[in-house]
Structure formats: C-alpha cells, structure tokens
Amino acid sequence: MNGLSGLNNNKKLQRDHWIIISVVALTIVMIVLRIFLNEKGRISPDSIRFMRFANVLPVIDNTTTPLGYPLILKFFSYFTFSEFWSSKIVGILSYLSMVYFAWKKNFYFREVVLTGGLFSFVSIFAATLSESFTLLFVFLLLYVSQGVIHQKYNFRKGTLLLTLALLAIFNVRYSGLFIMGASFLFGVLSVKKSYGKQFIISSLIGFIFIVLYKFLFIDTFNETYLDGALEIAHYPTSKLIPEFFAGVATSFNPFIHMTDPGGSILNIGIYGIGAFTVLVLIYFMIKKRGTKHEMFFIITGVSGILCSFFIQYFYVVDPINYRLISMFTLPLWLFFFSKIKPILGMKTYLITFLSMGVGVAFMWMARGNYLENRAEAARYLKAENLEETPLLFYAENYEDGEAIDLAELFSTVQSNLTLTFKKEDTLQRNTLTKHKVLQKITLDENKYR
C-alpha cells in the first residue's frame, strides 16, 4: 500500500510540475501576444513620460515619477536601442525573476505562477509602466518580511534588508510610501516582538528618506510640483466611492479586469465575480488562520488599497483600477491562492487557465497590429525627416482619444515625444497632429472598444 501511495504521489507531483511549466510558458506567450495584438503596443500617456524621461537621462525630465523605472529603461536601451523595447524586456524579466526567485527559495512558488498568469497581471507585465518592475520588489519585500518575522536574519541584517526593499519600491513608485506605512503599522501591532521593532525602524528610515527626497530631488527640479498636484485634487465622494468599488471588483476578478464604458449588462457579471472573490478572501482572512507573515501580507494589501482611495482627496491620481493597486493586490492574491489550493487541489490551476482563455478571446476581439502600425509611424517620421527630432504631439485634452492614441503610437518610435495642449505649438514643424498624420498613414486599429 505504501508503495502504491508513493507512486501516486510521484505521479501527482510530476503532473503538478508539468502544469506549472505550462502555465509559465503560456504566460510568456500571453505577454508577447498582449504587446503585439495591441494597436499601440500597450502604451499609455504615462508610458510617454517614462520613455521620454529615460531617453533624455541624465537630464531630469520631470519629478512626477521616481528615477527607478526610467533608469532601468535607459540601461536596457543600450542593448535594444529603444526605450519601448527595453520596457518590454523589463516586464518579461520582472515576471521571470519573480517565478525563478519563488522557485529557488520555495516561497509561494505555485501561488506566484497562478497569480502571474491572471490576465490582469499579464496586462501589467506587457505594458510600458512602472508597475511591472514594482511587483518584483514588492515580492522581494514579502520574502524578506517572512525571513525577519521568523528570525532567519539577525536584527541588523533583517532591518537592513527591510529598509532596502522599502526604499527600492519607493524609488520605482511613489505609492511605496503606503507600503512603508503598512510596515510601520505592522511593527506597532507587533511591537512586543523583536521583529516589530525592525519593521518600525525600517519604515522610519524610509520616511526620513522621503523627506530628504522631497527637499533634495523634487524641490531641486520642480519646486511647485506638490503645490500644483494638491491644489487641483478635488473629487467628490459621490464620484470616488463608485470608482473605488468598481476598481476593487475588477482588480479581484480573476478573468477580466475591464468593463464596458457604456454600462452594458455584462458589467454586472464582471463586478459580481470580483465581489465574490473579495468575499471569499475576507472569509479566508477571518476563518483560515494565517501565519504571522501572512498577516503582513494582509495589512500591506488592505491598507495600501485604502490609502490609494483616501489619497485621491489630496493628490491628483487616476481612478482606482487593477493597475494602480496591483502592488497591493499581489500579496492578497498570494494569500488567496495559498488558502484555496488545499481546498480545490489541482483544480486551482483552472482559475488561471480560464483567465488566460478569456484573455485570448479579448485580445482577439480587440486586436490591432502593433508592428504594422509601428512601421507606418516610422515611415511617416522618415518621410518628414523627423526621426531624430524631439517631437510634440498636439491634442485638445486627455479626452481627445484619437490624438492621444496616435501620440502613444509615435512615442514607441521616437521616445523623445511630449504631449502638448497648446494650439500655438501646431505651427512648429516638429509638432504632429492627428490631422497631419492621418492624411499620410493608415493604421490597423482596434475595432472593438
């Protein structure tokens, strides 16, 4: 009997092994498809700023973003000759680094594979945005926190590693401030333990760094940055609450993270699945006793999401969505999968496979040919002798969708591109407009919006 039992266990482990390899391989394929089947190569207005910043370094282009992500784009651009392709390498390497580290350290390995394959995370790793790089450092922080809590390091080394992880996150995304706050809160709640003091010290060092960063970096290059951001951040609660629930529901929908802007009945199902996932997660938090380090996961995730909501009253940010809170949903997804896998067993992988299936269907319906569009944009710049010229792209405002889309596309060819909303700029030779561009090129656009 023992021999048969051992044989069955070996077969299960072998099957699990091949499923994991399949999920990782399919995730990479999904990331690549997400890039090439998107008409603009997964670019947003924030991406324009990131790539321009990287392109002009060591000149400081802006203080809206920390230096971490532009610096890594600049580094890889020496090998790819393009900030756009650098960003795609960073995204894929961030995912693979998380998987490899999780496997090597035997730290939430299956949970990382399951989470990374969800369509929302595939979309993040495919995008030219700092979230993909941030997720890697958040995962490293989670690993270090486990080591500190379970006293795998001495006091000094644990404190140093925690501090470095917190600073690394902040230097890629300013919302790393919320993780410092979560670390401080966790430390206060665990102050009677030796590791509680480590979390408090590390977070306090982080807060001191932020104060110095404000005076030595932000004030040096853009003294009025915070004043301007704080002055215009006036959003009514009646607007913020629905956006919050919509953002959280889509972030925790394992299958689809987008809704129909027109408000179709499909949205009810999308929000419903996300809300159900949140309820299951809350059940696990209450009924399934988590380990000490999983309490840190929960505090980091929940407090980070709440801070992302309340900061909107004081600071200009986009509405809460899967991307903006991904660094906080990551620890919660890891916790979720760690608790549901003992219940569902091998069937847990179906969640990720179904998410991939929905993602493939979405990508096919919303497909556009990025490489063809990129070639058209490159031909236009060559014909106009603007290949090496810093560009402006005129749009009436951020709601001018067609102009913004074109600006995003052209920024993948010429990274030194700036959006302008001043009509007088259109008189300049290096200023592109949608009318100028669409007279001379034809694009393969997404017909399903």
Which backbone phi and psi does 398 adopt, to 5 degrees? -70, -15
Distance separating alpha carbons of residues 347 and 10, to the nearest angstrom = 18
315 part of a folded domain: yes
Which backbone phi and psi does 422 adopt, to 5 degrees? -100, 120
Q: In this predicted model, what pLDDT tens digit does every residue of 115-156 receive, in sequence order? A: 999 999 999 999 999 999 999 999 999 999 999 999 999 999
102 part of a folded domain: yes
Distance separating alpha carbons of residues 80 and 89, to the nearest angstrom = 9
Starting from the edge strand earliest in sequence, which strands make up the sheet with 391-394, in order?
417-420, 391-394, 431-432
Which backbone phi and psi does 107 adopt, to 5 degrees? -125, 100
Distance separating alpha carbons of residues 287 and 233, to the nearest angstrom = 39
**Domain boundary at 365, 387, 402, which?**
365
Q: In this predicted model, what pLDDT tens digit does every residue of 41-76 receive, in sequence order? A: 999 999 999 999 999 999 998 888 899 999 999 999
Q: In this predicted model, what pLDDT tens digit does every residue of 419-437 receive, in sequence order? A: 999 999 899 999 999 999 9
Domain that holds residue 399: 370-438
Question: Quick one: pLDDT band at residue 265, thresholds 50, 70, 90?
Answer: confident
Are residues 234 and 379 part of one domain? no
Question: Quick one: pLDDT band at residue 287, thresholds 50, 70, 90?
Answer: confident
Mean pLDDT of 257-285: 90
Distance separating alpha carbons of residues 314 and 319, to the nearest angstrom = 13
Are residues 31 and 82 part of one domain? yes
The 8-class DSSP code of residue 254 comes to S
Are residues 241 and 100 part of one domain? yes
393 part of a folded domain: yes
User: Is the confidence at residue 291, as pLDDT, over 90?
Assistant: no
Distance separating alpha carbons of residues 156 and 165, to the nearest angstrom = 14
Are residues 379 and 358 part of one domain? no
pTM: 0.93
Q: In this predicted model, what pLDDT tens digit does every residue of 177-203 receive, in sequence order? A: 999 999 999 999 999 998 999 999 999
Structure tokens belonging to residue 151? 């006293």
Are residues 193 and 323 part of one domain? yes
Are residues 419 and 340 part of one domain? no
Are residues 410 and 271 part of one domain? no
Is there a contact between 362 and 255 (Cβ–Cβ < 8 Å)?
no
Which backbone phi and psi does 33 adopt, to 5 degrees? -65, -40
Is there a contact between 131 and 39 (Cβ–Cβ < 8 Å)?
no
Are residues 395 and 350 part of one domain? no
User: Is the confidence at residue 240, as pLDDT, over 70?
Assistant: yes
**Domain boundary at 365, 391, 415, which?**
365
pLDDT, greater one: 261 or 406: 406
Of the ranges 3-12, 164-173, 341-350, which one carries the lowest mean pLDDT score? 3-12
**Domain boundary at 319, 349, 365, which?**
365
Question: Quick one: pLDDT band at residue 228, thresholds 50, 70, 90?
Answer: low
The amino acid occupying position 108 is Y
Are residues 374 and 356 part of one domain? no
Through-space distance between the first and last CA atoms of the chain, rounded to whole angstroms: 58
The amino acid occupying position 326 is S
447 part of a folded domain: no
Looking at residue 324, its pLDDT comes to 94
User: Is the confidence at residue 77, as pLDDT, over 80?
Assistant: yes
Are residues 398 and 357 part of one domain? no
120 part of a folded domain: yes
Looking at residue 446, its pLDDT comes to 65
Are residues 351 and 375 part of one domain? no
Is there a contact between 143 and 111 (Cβ–Cβ < 8 Å)?
no
The 8-class DSSP code of residue 214 comes to I
43 part of a folded domain: no
44 part of a folded domain: no
Domain count for the chain, please give it: 2
The amino acid occupying position 173 is R
User: Is the confidence at residue 448, as pLDDT, over 60?
Assistant: no
Nearest to 55, CA basis, from 37, 67, 73 = 73
User: Is the confidence at residue 225, as pLDDT, over 90?
Assistant: no
Which backbone phi and psi does 441 adopt, to 5 degrees? -135, 155
